[in-house]
Structure 1
């Protein structure tokens, strides 16, 4: 056991599932960069679990949206699933569950910001899904998936999962601290009334984390939130 048992128990409380075999939870949190550095640990990482978790995740979301939206044709179901079962969404789930805190990473990966890297976080979510599936069966894994992804399915149906950067930003910072306050401040308006351009800063507490522009305050706020997410590594450039 490499991760302290108290930390694993804390993580169990966060995800709402207690493992019968705690070692498989540790395995799901072990990145290959760690096992590559520690030769005694070389065959223990979460890559195989990611493979299985991806399949469990896909079938769970597929069945849920198949039942929930009987009027959707195949193409719409496929599009909806792809919006939910993706790196961006899974990294948000990981942030909500504080997964980055508990990962075992190699020194190089740790130094380069691996605990906040979207790909690593998304893969860890899939590995945890597989660990729950192996330890507790499909129903427990399904429960975990739907508890953590149903709200994103609802956002995707409303067309907000990609375009509502303000909600994305709010969720991201609240996953770090429930006490943070996010404000949008118009710093400048320019141009004639029929072609006005707004400049907006988004502040977390008193720190400017992003700036944006738009032809309305709402568009400028969304642009500022989008740029803040990019600077935090939560969106691709």
Structure 2
């Protein structure tokens, strides 16, 4: 970890601190100790070539950030998709934390131009390589955790990944809302109605409760870390309820 003292940043940046400030704006988090962020952006090629210090690279923070990301995603999926078995949760998490998925998030944050790369890595287009972007993003997550702790890290990562998590779940045939709407239209001739009945907890750890009804009859309740996730769980419970009715003699 590099703390204090001058750092030799890339010469093409007239004001690297301004570059970092703009990145923090996109990330949605302002570091109290910016040395954590600076270290997260140092690739080993730059540490070896420019700093002459292999230990100054981002690999240790990447190691930490990888663990933080895994736990945040596991926690989010566990709370948001209570109806899913372990195998489904693991498959969704694996897709969310893959190098391809992380590189996509890194590009959305325009992380590439912020990276400190050695000359050879820079010439070969390192700032747009999936593996370098994914590793650096994990190092940034480690930096957030070191700077602010678990609650803030979970909030930052949650904002970045929630929409993707919902899309992945739907793509894996877990879109219970669509399935329930089709069944409700066929059974009752009306669309289901979702009502938010509670929103509890602090902003960074909000939990929502939703009920779904058809033709005035409540059929399901759902809880989740987002309104969409709570609606999905409510729809799942409603599907189970209707199927149980069909099974009764």
Regarding TM over 0.5, the answer is yes
Aligned length: 160
* TM-score (norm: length of structure 1): 0.65
Partner of 1:95: 107
Task: State how far apart, in whole Å, the 1-side matches of 2:22 and 2:81 are.
Answer: 36
Q: What runs of 5+ residues in structure 1 fail to find an aligned partner?
A: 161-237
Deviations 1:132-190 (A, max 9, x none): 00001111111111111111111111117xxxxxxxxxxxxxxxxxxxxxxxxxxxxxx
Task: State how far apart, in whole Å, the 2-side matches of 1:114 and 1:108 are.
Answer: 9
Matches within 5 A, 1:150-189: 150-159=162-171
Q: Is 1:86 matched with 2:98?
A: yes
Partner of 2:67: 55
Partner of 2:46: 34
Runs (4+) off by over 4 Å: none
Task: State how far apart, in whole Å, the 1-side matches of 2:155 and 2:22 are.
Answer: 19
Say whether the 8 Å CA contact 2:47–2:55 is kept in structure 1. yes
Aligned-residue offset at 1:38: 2.1
- Equivalent of 1:132, from 144, 153, 160? 144
SS of the residue 1:70 aligns to: coil
Q: Is 1:147 matched with 2:159?
A: yes
Task: State how far apart, in whole Å, the 1-side matches of 2:51 and 2:148 are.
Answer: 30
Partner of 1:43: 55
Q: What runs of 5+ residues in structure 2 fail to find an aligned partner?
A: 1-6, 10-15, 173-249
Partner of 2:35: 23
Deviations 1:4-59 (A, max 9, x none): 22221121112111111111110001111111112444321110011000000000
SS of the residue 2:56 aligns to: coil
